[in-house]
Amino acid sequence: MFGKFETEIATGMMLGHRLAVGGRTFSKGHTLSLEDVAFFLSHGISSVLAHRFEEHEIDEVTAADILGAPFAKEGVFSKSAVGGRVNFYAKADGLFIAERDLINSFNSINQAVTFACLADRSRVVEGELVGTLKIIPLAVGYRTVETARLVASTRPPISVWPFESRAVTLISTTLPSLGAKTVEKTARITAARLMERGSTLVSELYSEHDINALADVLREEADRRAGSNHLVIVFGASAVADANDVIPAAIREAGGKVERVGMPVDPGNLIVIGAIADIPVIGAPGCARSPSLNGLDWVLDRTLAGDRIDSGTIARMGVGGLLKEISSRPQLREASVSHEAVPQLRDTALSGL
């Protein structure tokens, strides 16, 4: 029970707030000893805000350690509880997975028990903080702790899937309008993007921006890499405009399957997801020539962590899929308008009504 108690009976209780007395500081949650009580009384402290333990209660630190155990499983480690809080960290670079429904159930058991984490499918680096569990009061009932432990133990509420190291081929289609410097910059940025995820760009190939020409290059590369843990990324000299445009049509012509053309993530709308036999093929959106976050990053995160990527997966990316605009894109979402100009534009529009 939390409340105001006479100091003389407060032995064994936990301080409800930080308290500075006689040049000493006692932290919140400190368990008061006989010596502490005597010290308080000698300095005129006649009452304290504290928590008195009931028989059915567990202190915040013990409760946090008990409940933290089920969270520190697959690719996740934790440190001992401090002040009723346990933090969780990634064991490796990879993809953070959060079981939303399970975590919601956990957080609905009792308001005394809370868990917060990164968004599902976030890319993380080794040692990064991915979640935190906090016991709100200084003590919590045993039944609450046991119920929460059982819920969290049904399956890992959070995990980090480490990135798989893959060898990657980059195919660039060419047109007279596409400069060599752009192609070189794209390769450099793509290599860096892959390196961040533990993979390596091992081959750069070129093709005319033509269905048959690209199909020949894709077919030959897929045959050469068959049975390996390989990935192919294609950058088109021109953005994809249709499901029958050059990149998706070339994948099909090479004997492959196109899973999806387009995604509800911007920048990144104009992506192509497919495969030739066991080799994944990604038609990169033009915005991926920039190092800024875009839909290709989301697809690479999932692909390189072994997560399933299909049309349904892509379709569910829309909420949160509006990313920061890339100013270098040929066609921006909307014309740039200064904040100062907005009232003037509004007044002009209203004057015409």
Distance between CA atoms of 346 and 175, rounded to whole angstroms?
43
213 within a domain of the structure (yes/no): yes
Q: What is the pLDDT of residue 341?
A: 46
* Whether the predicted pLDDT of 224 surpasses 80: yes
| Interatomic CA distance for residues 228 and 187, integer angstroms | 22
Q: Return all residues near 49 (Cβ < 8 A) that are at least 6 apart.
A: 2, 3, 4, 5, 15, 16, 17
140 and 243: one domain? no
Q: What is the CATH number of the domain that holds 128?
A: 3.90.1170.30
Model confidence pLDDT, tens digit, residues 111-122 = 999 999 999 999
Q: Are 83 and 60 in contact (CB under 8 A)?
A: yes
**Residues with Cβ within 8 Å of residue 79, at least 6 apart in sequence:** 86, 87, 89
173 and 309 together in one domain: yes
- What does residue 48 show for φ and ψ, rounded to 5 degrees? -140, 150
Query: What pLDDT is recorded for position 330?
Result: 60
What mean pLDDT is predicted for residues 303-319? 96
Predicted confidence (pLDDT) at residue 339 exceeds the cutoff of 90 = no
Is 50 exceeded by the pLDDT of residue 348?
no
Nearest to 260 by CA among 243, 277, 244: 243
DSSP per residue, 205-271: EEEESSHHHHHHHHHHHHHHTTTSSEEEEEE-SS---STTSHHHHHHHHTT-EEEEE--S-BS--S-
Does 21 map to a domain? Answer: yes
Q: Domain check: are 221 and 279 in the same one?
A: yes
Whether residues 201 and 279 fall in one domain: yes
Report the domain count for the chain.
3
Q: Are 81 and 65 in contact (CB under 8 A)?
A: yes
Is the predicted pLDDT of residue 52 greater than 80, yes or no? yes
Residue 344 falls inside a structural domain: no
Give 1's pLDDT tier (boundaries 50, 70, 90): confident
Instruction: Assess if residue 334 is contained within a domain.
Output: no
pLDDT for residue 246 is more than 80 = yes
**Is residue 349 pLDDT above 70, yes or no?**
no
Neighbours of 48 (CB within 10 A): 22
pLDDT, mean of residues 324-352: 56
Question: Residue 43 pLDDT more than 90?
Answer: yes
CATH number where 284 lies: 3.40.980.10
Q: What band does 351 get if pLDDT is binned at 50, 70 and 90?
A: very low
Q: Is the pLDDT of residue 131 over 80?
A: yes
Does residue 243 sit in the same domain as residue 277? yes
Q: State whether 173 and 308 are in the same domain.
A: yes
Provide the domain limits for residue 109. 57-162
CB 93 within 8 A of CB 163: yes
Q: Is residue 340 pLDDT above 60, yes or no?
A: no
State the CATH number of the domain containing residue 42: 3.90.105.10
pLDDT value at residue 324: 87
Quick one: 178 and 298 in the same domain? yes
Residues 157 and 174 reside in one and the same domain: no
Residue 210, number of CB atoms within 10 A of its CB: 15
Residue 205 lies in a domain: yes
Question: 353 pLDDT exceeds 90?
Answer: no
28-37 — which CB contacts under 8 Å span 24+ positions? Answer: 28/83, 28/138, 29/60, 29/61, 29/83, 29/84, 29/138, 36/11, 37/7, 37/8, 37/10, 37/11
Residues 44, 124: one domain? no
Q: Are residues 15 and 65 in the same domain?
A: no
pLDDT digits (tens, 9 = 90+) for 147-200: 999 999 999 999 999 999 999 999 999 999 999 999 999 999 999 999 999 999
Residue 325 in any domain: the answer is no
Percentage of the chain exceeding pLDDT 90: 89
Strand 94-98 and strand 76-78: pairing? Answer: unpaired
Looking at the structure, do residues 46 and 139 belong to the same domain, yes or no?
A: no
What is the rounded CA–CA span in Å between residue 203 and residue 48? 71
Residue 238 belongs to some domain of the structure: yes
Lowest-confidence segment of 149-163, 313-327, 328-342 by average pLDDT:
328-342
Domain match, 80 and 43 both: no
CB 138 within 8 A of CB 83: no
Q: Note whether residue 329 is domain-resident.
A: no
